[in-house]
Amino acid sequence: MSKKITYTALAVSAALLSLQTQAAGFQVNEHSASGLGRAFAGEAAIADNASVIARNPAAMTRFDRIEISGSLSFIEPSVDIETVGSSPAQQYNDVAPIAFVPAGYFVMPINDQLAWGVGMFSNYGFATDYPTNANFGALAGMTDLLTLNVNPSIAWQINDQFSVGAGVSLVYADAELNRHFGSLAPLYGTTPDKTLLNLQGDTWEFGWNIGALWELNENNRFGLSYRAKVDLDFDGKFTDYSGTGVSGSNPMAPKTVDGKLSVPLPAIAEFGGFHQLNNQWAIHYGVQWTQWSDFTELKATSEDCINNTCLLKEEEFDDNYRYSIGATYTLSQEWELRAGFAFDEQAGKATLSIPDTDRYWYSAGFTYTYSPDLTVDVGITYLYGKSSHFKEEYVDMREYDFYAKNFAWLGAAQLNYRF
């Protein structure tokens, strides 16, 4: 498949680190408005609309009619960063821009035992945007990673209680990164806002996922799913301004060589449960595991680099868990209310590009049934991120202290139509 990526850098190591931590530190859960309204608690088991494709393909066997779902999520983050103990003091407000996350799904029963469907959604993505004249411009500029997953799936109901499902993923990834000279500007006779590095690239890759559904009865069921890791492999150019990567290169006469870079999107496993307690109340819960420990190193390679290695950076990421619980209340034939809470563990060491931290989700939402064929979902979440202190090494080889505060408002709307 066609792949392209371009590097131009004075501090390539800082830039590649920023791209990788960006991809590792933020997971997109915003697959539906119905799920957002319950903090995505029980998503692997509920299957109340076609968006279940994103979480567990086996649950498609619960559909007896063709259904389409389309959602749009809105994310308004507030991320503020300030330096601690350094001079001059620096403060960067609202470094994470507003984002929109669309998604669409289609499910079609084939017969009493088989169903198929396709979903278009995102599992990973992130963006930060610092002022162009920021002191730490070589680390903190504009970083943007977008992914799109096109996920056709099939499901088979083995018997009245057990169903299995599987899917393949065609993953598109687009990355852009800009860095500026910042406090390095006087050393090179330029201005702080002068572009130091620009990176742009895209690629297409394949992945797969599987799932299972256990229905004890109509009111109690459990779901389990697994989505495999996808490696984003980029081929492109490596320009060395430091002389540490390409022999004979220096700031006045940099050399450009062909290089390769791989960025993994980690595997995800999810368990969910759903229990209809009576005609009005239901509870649901979930546990999600993400294999962030796959980020053991960030390595750019080339036959023209010293020891075939242009860049090697050891990473500090651990597998993390997300725990969620929620409840649904049926108010009438037209209105269904829901709420949920989730705790999302910090995955990796915080950096300027991705000030990762523990996150707490407080969610509410509703479904309005316009007709037996058409329903509307709305969800809203307040996401609180724990304030954190972290250290990061700059290109001058000094370690600096930073303090981060962050929270976000998330909203989503969704239409579901049954044929």
Which of 73-87 are b and which e, b meaning 16 or more Cβ less than 10 Å from the residue's Cβ? bebebebbbebeeee
66 CB-side CA count, 13 A = 5
- Cα–Cα dist 31/104, whole Å: 9
In the predicted structure, residue 44 carries a pLDDT above the cut 90: yes
In the predicted structure, residue 228 carries a pLDDT above the cut 80: yes
More confident residue, 317 or 419: 419
Output the pLDDT for position 244.
57
Q: Would the CA dihedral through 43, 45, 47, 51 be positive or negative?
A: positive
Q: Are 267 and 238 in contact (CB under 8 A)?
A: no
Q: How much of the chain, in percent, has pLDDT values that exceed 90?
A: 53
60 CB-side CA count, 13 A = 37
How far is CA 213 from its chain centroid?
Answer: 25
Return the residue matching tokens 């963006």: 127
Strand runs labelled E in 251-398:
255-265, 268-276, 281-290, 297-301, 309-314, 320-330, 335-344, 359-369, 374-393
321-358 pLDDT, tens digit per residue, is 999 999 999 999 999 999 999 999 998 888 777 788 89
In the predicted structure, residue 92 carries a pLDDT above the cut 80: yes
Residue numbers of the domain that contains 144: 4-418
Nearest to 359 by CA among 309, 324, 393, 310: 324
190 CB-side CA count, 13 A = 14
- Provide CB contacts within 8 A for 268, sequence distance 6+: 27, 123, 226, 227, 288, 289, 290, 291
More confident residue, 354 or 320: 320
What does the block give as tokens for 365? 């939402």
Question: Whole-prediction pTM value?
Answer: 0.89
- Provide CB contacts within 8 A for 99, sequence distance 6+: 74, 75, 77, 125, 127
More confident residue, 29 or 244: 29
Output the pLDDT for position 249.
64
**Total H helices, total E strands in the chain:** 2, 21
The CATH number of whichever domain residue 61 belongs to comes to: 2.40.160.60
Q: 91 exposed, middle or buried (CB, 10 Å; 0-12, 13-18, 19+)?
A: exposed
- Provide CB contacts within 8 A for 287, sequence distance 6+: 270, 271, 321, 322, 323, 324
Output the pLDDT for position 250.
61
Q: CA of 204: how far to CAs of 28, 267, 419, in Å? A: 19, 17, 33
Specify the range with the lowest mean pLDDT, choosing from 22-31, 269-278, 348-357. Answer: 22-31
132-162 pLDDT, tens digit per residue, is 888 888 777 888 888 999 999 999 999 999 9
More confident residue, 242 or 274: 274
Domain count, the chain: 1
